[in-house]
Amino acid sequence: MRLKNVRGAKEIIENSSYVIKNFEINFTNDNPIRIEIGMGKGNFLIENAKRYPNINFIGIEKFDSVIVRAVEKLENLDLKNIKLIRMDALNINEIFSRNIDILYLNFSDPWPKKRHQNRRLTSPVFLEKYDGIFKHKKNIIMKTDNRKLFEYSLMSFSNNGYKISNISLDLYKDDINDNIPTEYETKFAEKGAIIYMVEVMKE
């Protein structure tokens, strides 16, 4: 998918109090921290921050043209428990170190070609990087509409010592009351697509 440039995106991002500068994470509390890699336009993260004021949330996004949309939504809100950071997820273990409670992977790029499989956010390359970011137990929650990515991820989690604590093979047919959808999720679900979800943990 080709991303459209947004005029003034860089300036909007740099001037936002919600965006972490110089990778300095400065929540003024000791509340748990949860992160979402590939936060898109921010709906999932913003709704979580509203619903759970005693939990801190950080959204990670690589592209200015995407993160700026979340910034625009946040400028009309007063949320103390949410921050955004523009970075490549490959560098995640250089920024976070044993301070994350939960990692969300929502509708990540499936990178369907085999030669690109190491770019998948559930590949062994990334799972190894995640190992050092968690404060206690390693806890990942993933949602996707891509069955092949889901199957690949289940195998990858298992091979890297994770155990399934919760799983849905059709999220919208299962009785999950506290689900907060992403923008993509809402669009896919309205078209009748099956949404897969899994939560995995590792000591």
Active centre residues (catalytic): 109
Length of the chain: 203
30 phi, psi to nearest 5 deg: -110, 25
Strands (E), 30-87: 33-37, 56-61, 82-86
Cβ burial 64-103 (10 Å sphere, 16+ → b, else e): bebbbbbbeebeeeeeebbbbbbbebeebeebbeeebbbb
Strand 82-86 to 102-106 pairing: unpaired
Q: Which residues pair with 201 in a beta bridge?
A: 139, 163
Copy the structure tokens of residue 194.
């099956």
3-state secondary structure of 112: coil
Strands (E), 9-137: 33-37, 56-61, 82-86, 102-106
